[in-house]
Amino acid sequence: MSRLATILLCVYTLFFSIAHTWEHLSESDLESMLNNNEAATPLDKRTEHLETEWSLTLPEAKVSFVSIDCTANAAICASHGISSSTTVKLFSKGKLVSVYAGPRRASALLAWADRVQRPVISDVNAASLEDFRKADETVFIVYLSTDDEASKAAFANVAGRYHEEFTFGVATDDDALEAEKVTAPAVKCYKPVDGDTHDFNSLSDTTALEAFVKEASRPVIGELLPHNHQRFLDRGWSMVYVFAATEVERAGIRKDLNKMARGNYKSLTMVTVDPYEFPDLPAKLGLDPNVLPAGAVHQLSKDRIYPYPKGKGWTSSEVQGWGLDVWQGRIKPWTPPGVTTTYDDLGGRIKATQKISMRKIPGVKIKIAGRDEL
């Protein structure tokens, strides 16, 4: 990837102390860089932890990662459509290519920068197959016969809607199909981080294909973001939220709880949460927002919430033991202040019986236009 693109981070540094080391560009330097094909964007409390992740991108980036302080340069931020905190945008030859909507994680930022500069669908053959299926955190490859235009069009239709999140490729090379032991038409999803693959064969059903893309891309333990929250809720299974202040802590929790989450992958939706991304959510789940890490289970079928006990450890055995108590009805759900209720139907397996709109989830706000992208 050549340096023909620039990632611009726009931040509002109003709450930053002198100890922080962001090296922001001036307005004139920024305009010069964008117009000369080299460049992502605003800042609040959340950027305290983003700074570490941002700095980790710089040695590995194939494009220029630069930042600007919107507190000091309000006009230039406004001219690029920045009106809220911490926005990351990719520019190529001075034109906006993509706005980042992923987690505040260096590896995710780097993967996005590469992804959005690829074609919506890349051509893959036997020689490039091994590298391509590891090119991103989630990769979809459709294996087709050379004359199957209908299946290719169906795949392109779905890829066009999700190419900023995932990487898509097409292989019509007989050697590639043989290497993967697939019969065309077929789609395979590769998730190198989790070490998983998923298969799909009904390309004639675009709705089913899109559903496959959304479900197959779900990590063993996901990362909650504004754009994927409803997707997780739509599964209908109980949501397990784990809040931790930094990406290092969240990554550690994902690693420690991976085996447990994998064992319950189909019947639970487990996610880690940046509390600065969802500042109202902990309290609405019965948690003290000042105590981290913290967690809760939201039983969607009955809209009941079970906060994880304060002071309890976060080993897989502790979490699984507590979860078993919840599952078997030995723990009563949390009752919000001022609410009186009784629970006479506890016990038995927690089942998914309904879909919950994000608009009903405690503490979640939806902004369609002008929302924070990070």
- Model confidence pLDDT, tens digit, residues 95-117: 888 999 999 899 999 999 999 99
- Per DSSP (E only), the strands in 130-267 are 139-143, 167-171, 186-191, 196-200, 222-223, 238-243
Rounded alpha-carbon distances, angstroms, from residue 247 to 160, 223, 274: 30, 10, 8
Identify the band that residue 119 occupies on the pLDDT scale cut at 50, 70 and 90.
very high
Residue 138 CA to residue 141 CA, distance in Å, equals 10
Question: Which residue shows structure tokens 């001036």?
Answer: 26
* 34: phi then psi, degrees, rounded to nearest 5: -60, -40
Are 5-115 and 222-360 equal in CATH topology? yes
Residue 207: both structure tokens together = 């709705």
* Residues 210-229: tens digit of each pLDDT: 999 999 999 999 999 999 99
Taking the domains of the chain in order of start, what are their residue ranges? Answer: 5-115, 122-216, 222-360
**208 membership: H or E segment, kind and range:** helix 206-216
Give φ, ψ of 355 to 5 degrees.
-105, 140
Return d(Cα 158, Cα 155) in angstroms, integer: 5
Q: Are strands 95-99 and 87-92 parallel, antiparallel or unpaired?
A: antiparallel
At residue 76, the 3 state secondary structure works out as: helix
Q: Which CATH superfamily is domain 222-360 in?
A: Glutaredoxin (3.40.30.10)
Q: Kindly tell me if the per-residue pLDDT of 198 is higher than 60.
A: yes
As assigned by CATH, the class of the 5-115 domain is alpha beta
* H/E element, 130: helix 126-132
Question: Peptide bond preceding 293: is omega within 30 degrees of 0, i.e. cis?
Answer: yes
Domain 122-216: CATH superfamily is Glutaredoxin (3.40.30.10)
β-bridge partners, 118 = none
The pLDDT tens digits for 296-341 are 999 999 999 999 999 999 999 999 999 999 989 999 999 888 666 5
pTM, two decimals, is 0.81
Confirm if 233 and 357 have CB atoms less than 8 A apart: yes
